[in-house]
Structure 1
């Protein structure tokens, strides 16, 4: 009934697929299966097919990770070398955020929302 509830509440098909993958991971005892499915959804439906939702999900994750990295950068316990490495990670995350924003903007301009066509 969870899946039907998700459908009735209008949740994204991507979220429903992830939910099913998470349940399969739990019952199969195969750790990491849901994360693998999520990564594949983002790669294929987000980056390759340019559906906005998977790209926005990835953007949100990268932005949250950047916040945590920036906070750790302020920790004086790190050595100079570690601060350099953390600074590099901050720069890479900022570039990735900009790349995702451009891709999302392009996808929103070029594509209609994902629809399910009934046969």
Structure 2
């Protein structure tokens, strides 16, 4: 399948997904490549390998990672035995769920830190330490 991809936009999206989704560079490139599949037809393993010029094992590992973390999925078409990889239509929900989980974890840690600070202040009797705020 022929895609019309603007090089600079592809590079910028790849860099963004490396940071925002904490993806390795090749996984981010594959994810970005799938973003340009506006018809959601999907790509075969061979198409991805040919267009991104990476080894079979690297492509395989990256696709496996993207599927495992819920950012991509694969389908098989009726007239083909090949797998077609495409973005998981629920990836935005998956991403927000991951962010919520991360925020909840951080909130829990800060609650524990605040409780520990209270115990230290009571034990030490240090009024100055009691005035130090922990921002949550």
Structure with the higher helix share, 1 or 2: 1
TM-score (norm 2): 0.28
- More RCO (CA 8 Å, sep 6+): 1
